[in-house]
Amino acid sequence: MAALVTSIDKETIKLDLNHELAGKALTFDVELMKLVPSERMARATFGAGCFWGPELAFMRVPGVLSTEVGYTNGETENPSYEEVCSGTTGHAEVVQVVYDPEEVSYERLLEEFWARHNPTQLNRQGNDVGTQYRSGIFTHTPAQLEAAMKSKAAQQGKSKEPVVTVVEELANYTSAEPYHQQYLAKGGRGGRPQDPRKGCTDPIRCYG
């Protein structure tokens, strides 16, 4: 039985799975394979168009501990999805990644970011058009800011078109609604769950 862990606290593990046992109260014996101290964890935030596809891509990267989609660097507090999509709040759709720097580097996450979208498209990705879909690296530390600027310069050196990715310090971040979280792993629009396991190389269907 495969299950997606959606959240963990000291007493509860929440699972999301389409199974005949879904919704029932169960007791599990769990073997803890690895525990990463919170002080060792780091966060990274990326905007690469519609956040569903990039989130699944980052979920598959070894060393990534958890992901969350949300909205950032806009002008209003706690916007809804509908408000962000209206283009009036100034927010970008983003994936926020919690990772173990001893297992995966920030530079490796930047590589995944560049690989998962077209950074030469201004305020759009494919058919998704609007400032909320802008390409962006939203940094948490001065070291991330320096690495992001260096990475963008390297990316520009490979591109014939201008790289329009914004590099900014993270500000005014808010989590997206629960139904957006791990959307493609849960089935997406088509009700067909996509594999979030580490190292998976299956093509990502952006909307499910």
Helix (H, G, I), strand (E, B) or coil at 129: strand
pLDDT greater than 70 at residue 106 = yes
Nearest to 148 by CA among 173, 169, 122: 169
Q: Which of 13-17, 59-63, 66-70, 75-79 has the lowest mean pLDDT?
A: 13-17
**What's the mean per-residue pLDDT of the chain?**
91
200 is catalytic: no
Q: Are 88 and 74 in contact (CB under 8 A)?
A: no
- Residues 111-130 have a mean pLDDT of 97
Nearest to 72 by CA among 195, 190, 175: 175
HSE-CB of 125 using CA atoms within 13 angstroms: 22
- Rg, the chain, Cα only: 17
pTM: 0.83
Q: How confident is the model at residue 103 (pLDDT cuts 50, 70, 90)?
A: very high
For domain 37-186, give the CATH number. Answer: 3.30.1060.10
pLDDT greater than 60 at residue 2 = no
Percent above pLDDT 70 for the chain: 85
Residue 155 parent element (H or E): helix 142-158
Q: How confident is the model at residue 19 (pLDDT cuts 50, 70, 90)?
A: low
Residue-wise pLDDT tens digits, 27-49 = 767 665 566 777 789 999 999 99
pLDDT of residue 108: 99
Residue-wise pLDDT tens digits, 163-202 = 999 999 999 999 999 999 999 999 998 899 999 999 999 9
**Domains of the chain, residue spans:** 37-186
Q: How confident is the model at residue 91 (pLDDT cuts 50, 70, 90)?
A: very high
| Beta-bridge mates of residue 124 | 129
| Spatial CB neighbours of 173, under 8 Å, sequence gap ≥ 6 | 45, 70, 71, 72, 73, 94, 96, 138
User: Looking at per-residue confidence, does 19 or 132 come out higher?
Assistant: 132
Tokens linked to 119? 């950074």
Nearest to 132 by CA among 81, 92, 83: 92
Q: What is the 3-state secondary structure (H, E, C) of 34-102?
A: CCCCHHHCEEEEEEECCCHHHHHHHHCCCCEEEEEEEEECCCCCCCCHHHHHCCCCCCEEEEEEEECCC
